[in-house]
Chain A
Amino acid sequence: MNLRAVLEKVLPESLRGKAGPALGRTMDRLAVPPPGLRAGRGAGARSWTWPAVVVLQPGAPDAAAVAGTVAVLQELAGRLEIRPVLVLDTPHFAPVRRAGLAADHVLDPGEWARRHPDVPYAEHLRERLGQLRRDYATAQLVTLPPQGAGALDPEELAAMLAPTPRRAVHRVWQRLMGRFEGAIDRSTSGA
């Protein structure tokens, strides 16, 4: 009998409906990185509990500039055991998706000014980046130049992306919680 069947036997339907969202919120509050977050093609199940890093590449001029970053991030993800989330303010998402990495989006300064001319862009960006750090349960945020990772020294970039050293007990706790949530996700369904 799998976990879903057990839950269905033990919990009444009304409670089951609330249990799923409650679990998601609890894990979010515990700052456990979302299990399953993509780490690039070929990363495999080993990457399930790797820490996330938010990588911002504002003003990428074209898809090639993003593709260059993606190639570097793919290599570093496996080497450093991290899951980079590439955040763009331009429409060049295709290379990120093709590589099996996670992408996210922030409004660019021009779009922000059109929508909210009275609010400084910096204020919005600060708030949005805080939200991204919370979403992916990471304190690490690396900002790249518009040309992308290729414009930086590879070892300096690796040093910036390397996960913050944590106490062993913290790493074990995060890994256990990630595996627990992942197991629940695999054995139950929901949208």
Chain B
Amino acid sequence: MLGDPASPDGATGGGPDGCPVLFVSSNGAGMGHLTRLMAMARRRGDLVRPLFASMSQAVPVVGDEGFSWEYIPSRGDLGIGPRRWNVLLERRMTALLARERPQALIFDGTFPYDGVLDAAATVGGIRLIWSRRGMWRPALGSRQLRRSDRFDLIVEPGELAGSADRGATATRADALRVGPVTLLDADEQSTREEAAAVLGVDPDRPTALLTLGAGNINDISSDLGLLVSRLLDVPDLQVVLTRPMIADDLARFGDRVRGVSVYPVSRYFRAVDLAVAASGYNAFHELVQFGVPTAFVPNTSTAMDDQEGRARWAEEAGVGLCLPQVTPPQVDRVVSALADPVRRADLAAACRDHARPNGAGQAMAAVEALLGPAAVEGSRR
């Protein structure tokens, strides 16, 4: 259970009489869409009752938070064509919206699907909000941006690397820009000792976190192998992998390497002294906001997310290192930098300088302001 910043007693869900708000996420390379929506839902007001509908098969994690969820298969999960999938999606969403009668639908994804928008129009009376992360790959996305006017509110989760954003949303003025959205605030992190216990490491020795995300980063097995072997050259360093490896692979590195499957891993960053991570929105902002010295490995196979731009910015701004290719010389460069305690302290200090308040609460407050007290009260009758 994550715990709930919106209610000190840990109660979640807003109560059966709360104003239902439907959080809808597409299925991306990782869990970014779902995690941003969870970050918002956790910071809702007392009268909001969050429901989740996600195309990510990881959606049951929201159940750990006490939120209701439904899984809607993505087109990729079913393997079917776009036209037919949108027909299925529209029918499914129409039934869901008619059944749950949400006052608002918050969509997080880079492409607002016809099936979602048309279903909302059919059912009617639903405020539409687009949680639209920036940092799109240059020259992409004009088609989906034409759908912007179908939304009552567009919220743009803050981007620390915003000055390097060359994407189609960078120059638009149609979104409310909030701070970077992360699931946890710093005061929700475990102590170093507690975190070390969960990660299975010794808190008195340095620990590296290796998290290359869910995407396809080149040949992930060989990349991981190279990174782990170089990290193990650092005396006394323990390595924690978030990506499951087959047991034989893990065993060949010995007892200094641990595989973990925890969510959210950011809760345990206080036991992490350095990291090598994909530069997706979530991992990037969690690591920088929480001051973890990191080498960022951009996932170049994402459809829209300019992870290269984000990783390059990190190195230019001094908050991290960029590892564009996982080659022996490049890996040696970043590992030797991260192994140096003085360099790590410099990176952590730069992270602290660039950190901004969590924007999730601000985004949720904007949604609730859009709904207004009448809608919230009306749904209770």
Contacts and interface: CB of A to CB of B under 8 A. Distances in A.
Given A20-B82, A37-B79, A38-B79, A131 B95 contact: yes
B230 interface: no
Interface size class of A (residues with CB under 8 A): 35 or more
B321 to A, nearest CB: 33
A35 B80 contact: yes
Nearest to B60: A91
B73 A185 contact: no
A184 B71 CA distance: 28
A107 B83 contact: no
Interface residues of B, number: 32
Interface of A: 20-21, 23-25, 27-28, 34-38, 91, 93-94, 97, 102-105, 107, 111, 114-116, 124, 127-128, 131, 134-135, 181-182, 184-185, 189-191
Given A21-B87, A128-B95, A131-B91, 13 more contacts: A24-B82, A24-B85, A24-B87, A28-B84, A34-B84, A37-B78, A93-B60, A97-B77, A102-B79, A115-B68, A184-B81, A185-B80, A185-B82
Interface in B61-111: 63, 68, 70-73, 75, 77-88, 91-92, 95, 99-100, 111
A97 B57 contact: yes
B57 A191 contact: no
Contact of B77 (A23, A91, A102, A128): A102
Contacts of A105: 70-73
A20 B114 CA distance: 11
Nearest to A106: B70
Contact of A28 (B60, B87, B113): B87
Contacts of A131: 91-92, 95
A102 B73 contact: yes
A70 to B, nearest CB: 14
B79 A36 contact: yes
B60 A24 contact: no
B114 A191 contact: yes
Contacts of A189: 82
Please list the 7 inter-chain residue pairs (A to B) with the smallest Cβ-Cβ separation, ordered nearest first.
Answer: A185-B81, A91-B60, A24-B83, A34-B80, A105-B71, A93-B57, A38-B79
B227 to A, nearest CB: 24
B16 interface: yes
